[in-house]
């Protein structure tokens, strides 16, 4: 006759194994990487994307002297570290030339420096819709959109915006 002892022993080992297995757990997922990019570093990336190439087609609008004065004030304030003052000067210029993609871009860049990612993206996208689809200004628009997405951790959207930057480069006319 078969003894129930080996079956009991097997069940005891199985129960102990299950109890031990229940005590183990998988380690928690690592915390998401903290993005330590500063607004100034994001702005530097926008400026680098714009580049400077005199062999490229670049469209520049004519500007109202009052708007140019406000842009100059904004530049001075920005260089002095007064981002709120720079934003205020550009906010005064915007109603005078609502459809100027350059002013919109400058204001978007101030928003980027202020860490206002949503406003930076909104202004840059508006500038894209109103401006030229080529040249350094076009690249600044899309680089601003890209940086706003990166700042919010939206990598797929940032990749899509980055792809638009390449389309902004159109060689100028070669004259012989």
Per-residue pLDDT of 95-135, as tens digits, reads 999 889 999 999 999 999 999 999 999 999 999 999 888 88
Give the pTM: 0.75
- Predicted local confidence at residue 139, as pLDDT: 94
| 81 torsion bin: left (phi>0), alpha (psi -120 to 50), beta (else) | left
Mean pLDDT over all residues of the chain?
A: 85
What's the confidence (pLDDT) of residue 13? 74
> Which runs of consecutive H residues, i.e. helices, occur in the chain?
5-23, 39-50, 65-79, 83-93, 101-114, 117-130, 135-151, 155-166
Q: How far apart are CA 148 and CA 170, in angstroms?
A: 25
CB under 8 Å to 93, separation ≥6 — which residues?
66, 67, 70, 71, 74, 103
pLDDT for the residue 73: 97
Neighbouring C-alpha atoms within 13 Å toward the C-beta of 60 = 6
| 67 vs 104: CA distance, rounded Å | 12
In sequence order, the 6+-apart residues with CB closer than 8 A to the CB of 48 are 143
Q: What is the pLDDT of residue 166?
A: 86
Tell me which residue has tokens 């190439």. Answer: 53
Q: What is the pLDDT of residue 80?
A: 96
Give the separation between CA 19 and CA 109, rounded to whole angstroms: 59
């Amino acid at each position: 006759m078969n003894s129930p002892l080996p079956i009991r022993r097997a069940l005891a080992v199985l129960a102990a194994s299950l109890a031990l297995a229940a005590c183990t757990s998988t380690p928690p997922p690592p915390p998401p990487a903290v993005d330590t990019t500063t607004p100034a570093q994001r702005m530097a990336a926008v400026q680098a994307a714009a580049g400077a190439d005199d062999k490229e087609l670049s469209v520049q609008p004519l500007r109202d002297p009052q708007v140019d004065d406000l842009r100059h004030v904004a530049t001075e304030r920005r260089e002095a570290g007064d981002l709120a003052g720079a934003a205020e000067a550009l906010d005064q210029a915007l109603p005078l030339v609502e459809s100027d993609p350059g002013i919109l871009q400058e204001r978007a860049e101030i928003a980027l420096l202020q860490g206002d990612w949503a406003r930076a993206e909104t202004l840059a996208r508006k500038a894209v819709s109103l401006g030229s689809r080529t040249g350094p200004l076009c690249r600044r628009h899309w680089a601003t959109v890209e940086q706003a997405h990166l700042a919010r951790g939206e990598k797929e959207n940032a990749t899509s915006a980055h792809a638009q930057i390449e389309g902004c480069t159109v060689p100028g006319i070669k004259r012989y």
